[in-house]
Structure 1
Amino acid sequence: MSTRHRRRVACGTLALLAGLATAGCGPDPNAEQSAEQVPDNAILIGLSTPLSGSLAGVGEHNRWGAELAVEEINAAGGINGRPLGLVAEDNACNPAEGANVATRFADNPDVVGILGAFCSSVTLATMPVVLDAEVPLVIGVSSTPDITEQSGTGGNDWAFRITPSDTDMAIGLAKYLSDNEDVDRISYVAEDSDYGRGGAQALIDELEKDGVEVASTDYFAQGTTDFSTILAKVRGERPDMLAIFAVGADDVNFAKQFLSTGMAADISLTGRPALDLYEREGLLGSGDLDSANGVMQYSAGVDTPENKEFVAAFTEKFDQEPVVQSFHGYLQAKVLADAIERAGSADRAAVREALETTDLPSPLGGRITFDEHNQAYDHAVVRGVKDGEEVVLDVITTSPGN
């Protein structure tokens, strides 16, 4: 690594963590240590995720998943004789703050790689930082196709995504809807972000090939509390289905208001509804959403031995089942740790090279390998509701040509 990328760490950065503290410096209020104190000789990895705002709940799940992976790795002896240490920082799903978090990680030579950055817009803002600093970034949760286009041969060979993109998932959901639903017109409601706009447009593009019309399209700001105007518009359009693309508290809030209108009797939800969160919030018990379906990158209900083992371990540790973001935190950490171990060192360039040859089984039944755009094609899950409970309707292959 060149000297311009081996900048010394100042007070207020990650060197202030337990075991790395320097005299005269106080702890960074944005940095959060993992469940246990980081040992002095730990190999550090950073996690950039939203731990405040409307996404704090699922951001915490993201951190929990990574913590579980680190705990398992250390229980098995660590990496090349050294423990793994996780440091999580709050990016607030804000691109500017995400770039700041990535810079703080990059400025600490003890941080070997970064997991993040959850929100697609934040990941896109993080990618130039890791490219300039030459630090590996393993991406989960973020699904905009722009990440694929810009990674690997797209220009950024330090960014690797383990999860399918909006386009990959839209292809699978469109096929499922065409095969299983009688649908002619769909309304789209999405958060005004790279994730929301990208997800909605990807599904629109795929369904238009099957002749499904767009009844209406509305975008809302993250943190919106009142969806009455949008819902009134949708009611007036009388679509067959309503596709929602939102995350965390916004998604749950929208679902509550959608249910309160009574429209669920005539309009089914699809897109990317967080059915696992709906179930946890008690929104499925009435049966009003039994016709809902959607595609996600994960479900705790996937019936593989590896996923059952993960769900059991996560539930035992955190007293609740994992959600999409928990799974990504877990798998991101496993993928980065595997690369560090195969690299045989904590050198960032060596770890990046090892990531290129990753070949790991996924708990979903697929494998994590990267193409020329550093994009992996794990399975995705079509989820639905039956008798008031979330169920797995289909597990789909997202590889190109399938």
Structure 2
Amino acid sequence: MKHTIVLAASLLCTSFAQAAEPVKIGITTILSGPMADRGQQEQYGAQLALDRINQAGGVLGRPVEAFYADNACKPDVGVPATKRLLDEVHVPVIIGALCTPVTHAIMPVMQQAKVPLVIATSAGQDFVDASGPGGNDFAFKTIPSEVDIMRGLVRWLKSKDIKSIGVVADDGEFQHANAIAVVKAAKDAGINVTADETIPKDTKEFAAIFDKLKGGSPAELVAILGPSTAGFFKAYETSSWKVPVTGRFDLAGALAAVSQTFRDAGGMSELTGVAVFTTASDKPEVQDFVTSYKARYGIVPTQRSFFVFEATYLVVDAIKRAGSDQPAAIEQALKTTTMPSRLGGSYAPDDHNHAQTPLQILGLRDGKPAVIAIE
């Protein structure tokens, strides 16, 4: 398969002089293979931002253009694709790479080239730990990590005076990382962890897992689920266990898994969860993004769409404040940014070049997911 760099066609303001050299932004994401829809979500978010930026006059009196490199979620594809953005297109900054192994693989490439990398959707705490002074000074992470997320969830549980939790997670890298993070955050906060269970892949019967979880009598159950969401909540209904459930999973999927009778009886009334982004947010700035995205593309945006949308604004803001589209100037401007997020808070980086955006605690209102708290 041939992987090429694709120039995104933007709607450029007619006020731009035809001779104006565009400001270039590189974006590497997944544009082929079974996860290409995820990369498309990022592309859509970036393009929505670029269209708005260019309609408002661009930056430095020039239009802004994005150059996309398909990494196919494969390091052996992603590294050469990134080098083409650097060596052939000469982009002064790159947003990427969505796929965790590719992000890891391109970080040293970016560091050697001394070109900033904005990690907008690879969530791992290891990216935070490896970035900033003393590490990779050219890596900037904008999406919360699993450590950020689980600390936020535990703060909220602590505010409810929850003294014990049981933890259960699917057998996957993402779920394992979150389970480790919530167990540590809970212990650090003085919350007793009564169980830490893993759901084996392709589990069909959950009775034994529920028996183990029940044994510790936790005040709240923290579930970190992916493929087993439907099966888990069907088993939750049949278990007759009344413990409240929170964590990281698809709330709508959990609701759909149980019977209407169970929902009507209040069986899911205390269901909650934590999210880095949700279309259920009532913030006007978020709803403006959601409405514009749906009108433009006919689909609902994801957190990937949102964080790349904001990362595009962050990069352009850095170029504007630097008064330059040179990599060194952009790097320094990213280090001093205080650009606000539509979620609240700002993208001001910490000592590891990592921003802290607010987390949304979701609950149910009128039977639908809604933001009930911000952490």
Interval containing the TM-score (normalised by the shorter chain): 0.7 to 0.9
Following the alignment from structure 1 to structure 2, what is the Cα–Cα distance between the partners of residues 54 and 254?
Answer: 20
Report the residue type matching 2:288 in the other structure. Answer: E
What is the aligned-residue identity percentage?
Answer: 31
Does structure 2 retain, via aligned residues, the 8 Å contact 1:243–1:271? yes
Residue of structure 1 in register with 2:328 after alignment:
349
Aligned counterpart, 2:287: 308
For 1:248, the equivalent position in structure 2 comes to none
2:304 maps to which of 325, 329, 332: 325
In structure 1, give the amino acid aligned to 2:347.
I
Q: 1:213 to 1:49 in 2, by over 3 A?
A: same
Gaps of 5+ in 2: 13-17, 215-219
Give the superposition deviation at 1:289: 4.9
- Residue deviations 1:311-330, cap 9 Å, x none? 22222212233221111011
The one of 231, 245, 251 aligned to 1:257: 231
Task: Identify which of 56, 62, 80 aligns with 1:76.
Answer: 56
Aligned match of 1:6? none
The amino acid across from 1:302 in the alignment is S
Superposition TM-score, scaled by structure 2 size: 0.82
Output the amino acid matched with 1:360. M
Q: Alpha carbons of 1:185 and 1:345: their partners in 2 closer, same or farther (altered >3 Å)?
A: closer
Cα offset for 1:169? 1.9
Separation in structure 1 between the aligned mates of residue 105 and residue 140 of structure 2, nearest angstrom: 15
Cα deviation per residue 1:104-123 (whole Å; 9 max; x = unaligned)? 32223432211122244432
Please report the TM-score for the alignment, with normalisation by the length of structure 1.
0.77
Q: Which residue of 212, 215, 224 maps to 2:195?
A: 215
Q: Conserved in 1, the CA contact under 8 Å of 2:132 and 2:139?
A: yes
Q: Which residue of 2 aligns with 1:297?
A: 276
Query: Does 2:374 correspond to 1:395?
Result: yes
- What is the total number of aligned residue pairs between the two structures? 356
Deviations 1:187-207 (A, max 9, x none): 3324533x4333221111012
Match of 1:202 among 181, 186, 193: 181
Structure 1 residue runs of 5 or longer lacking an equivalent are 1-26, 246-250, 397-402
- Structure 1 contact 306–363 (Cα < 8 Å) conserved: yes
What is the match of residue 169 of structure 1?
149
Alignment match of 1:134 (pick from 98, 114, 137): 114
The letter of the residue matching 1:150 is A
Q: Which amino acid aligns with 1:228?
A: K
Show the counterpart of 1:273: 249
Measured at CA, do residues 28 and 159 of structure 1 come closer, stay the same or move farther in structure 2, by a change above 3 Å?
A: same
For the residue of structure 2 that corresponds to 1:146, the secondary structure is: helix
Bigger mean CA offset, 200-209 vs 117-126: 117-126
| Residue identity in the other structure for 1:346 | D
Q: Does 1:338 align with 2:300?
A: no
Deviation of 1:268 after TM superposition, in Å, equals 5.1
Where do residues 371-382 of structure 1 align in structure 2 (5 Å cutoff)?
Answer: 371-382=350-361
**8 Å Cα contact 2:67-2:85 kept in structure 1:** no
**1:41-83 Cα shifts (integer Å, max 9, x gaps):** 4322222223455644443322211111111111111121222
Q: Counterpart of 1:153 in 2: which secondary structure? A: coil
Q: Which residue of 2 aligns with 1:228?
A: 204
Whichever residue aligns with residue 301 of structure 1, its letter is A
Closer, same or farther in 2 for the Cα pair 1:285/1:332, shift >3 Å?
farther
The 1-side partners of 2:118 and 2:199 are apart by: 29
Find the partner of 2:103 among 123, 135, 150: 123
**More displaced stretch, 259-268 vs 83-92:** 259-268
Contact 1:48-1:116 within 8 A present in 2 as well: yes
| Distance (Å, rounded) in 2 between the aligned partners of 1:107 and 1:348 | 13
Kindly provide the amino acid, as one letter, of the partner of residue 213 in structure 2. Answer: R
